[in-house]
Structure 1
């Protein structure tokens, strides 16, 4: 004759089942978290492999080349290999009729910068884009820019350690105020910016600059 379970036994079995279900759910969540972490690490590793390369273009075709590459990357789903295309520009201060005007011009006419992971596929896409005449490098081998070159060009934000304080003298090394001297008034280490007083045409002019735009003197 089958023994009828008492209420305490039924409650105990129910609690055990609930506990096992919780453990299984926690294990599933842990596995999912580990998978997500692995995926994130892989994506970060892939991004870190991408470097900036310089490509030569026909003069005046820089912006067209940029647009053409971006369209090809999107159409072929190659965003994981070719991350960014840039035509570097800079603002220059021009004085005309006593008025100060800022004009934008290309920093490197005839060149376009591409942040990419070089594979046969990505190399072929960029090299054969209409308007491109080749990569800058040794022979057919593209040579990436160094971190210092990237910083100097201002094409990507790179954390810079700069030993500087209010009262220090600086020289502007790029941007619209290139070659001007100035005195630091404020330093923002979080934003990597400086407020500087620059002497222009006999008058002090306050400007905000990035760490990568100045050299301490």
Structure 2
């Protein structure tokens, strides 16, 4: 039975995150370990920075000193990642790497799950997650690129528009 790849956090020297990520990818390519280490990423965000009265967008690392690696933990995969120049170890107690939990992966937004949209504009949907859990609303707009939709919900006798993520609603049967 093949186990599923899980996300692990690798600690690196500060400033070496991108180098470590590319070195891991090269090692995976050279040793043909794509089935054990399918993905490596350095989480970043775009931030507006004002310098000398000029605003520009720059990419900033979310977790300096860390690289996320999606892998099946075996002796081979552990050895490859652990022996990359710039890697100081895995995050976890002692020498035992601990994978991220499903909640942590969702909070980081690293694994984007494809959500099937089986409703359209004008359809009634039930909100299944969040502070409006259990409410029924009518879909006003769907933005699949951003993964959001706008729903009008009747609360306290008023029509209230709310923006939700696609995974927070389900079509009414």
> TM-score, normalization: structure 1?
0.53
Could you say which residue in structure 2 is the equivalent of 1:73? 28
Runs (5+) with no aligned partner, structure 1 = 1-44, 169-184, 197-208, 213-217
> Higher strand fraction: Structure 1 or Structure 2?
2
Q: Could you say what secondary structure the match of 1:65 adopts?
A: helix
Q: Name the structure 2 match of 1:88.
A: 43
**Structure richer in helix, relative to its length:** 1
Show the counterpart of 1:106: 61
Alignment of 1:43-192 (within 5 A): 46=2, 49-94=4-49, 101-158=56-113, 163=127, 186-188=141-143
Instruction: For residues 82-128 of structure 1, give each alpha carbon's deviation from its aligned partner in whole angstroms, at most 9, with x where no partner exists.
Output: 11110110012345688754321000000000000000111011011
**Conserved? CA contact 2:10–2:89, under 8 Å:** yes
Q: Distance in 1 between matches of 2:87 and 2:100?
A: 18
Q: Distance in 1 between matches of 2:145 and 2:127?
A: 15
Cα deviation for residue 155 of structure 1 reads 1.4
Residue 127 of structure 2 aligns to a residue whose secondary structure is coil
Task: Find the aligned partners of 2:77 and 2:55 in 1 and give their Cα distance.
Answer: 44
Unaligned runs of 5+ residues in structure 2 are 116-125, 133-139, 151-162, 167-173
CA distance in 2, matches of 1:123, 1:59: 21
Displacement after TM superposition at 1:192 (Å):
6.4
Match of 1:211 among 161, 165, 169: 165
On the 8 A contact 1:192/1:210 being kept in 2, the answer is no
Highest Rg: 1 or 2? 1
Aligned length: 137
Rounded to whole Å, the distance in 2 between the matches of 1:132 and 1:99 is 36
Pick closer, same or farther for the CA change 1:99–1:66 going to 2, 3 Å.
same
TM-score (norm 2): 0.66
Contact 2:15-2:65 at 8 Å conserved across structures: yes
Match of 1:194 in 2: 148
Greater relative CO (CA pairs within 8 A, separation 6+): 2
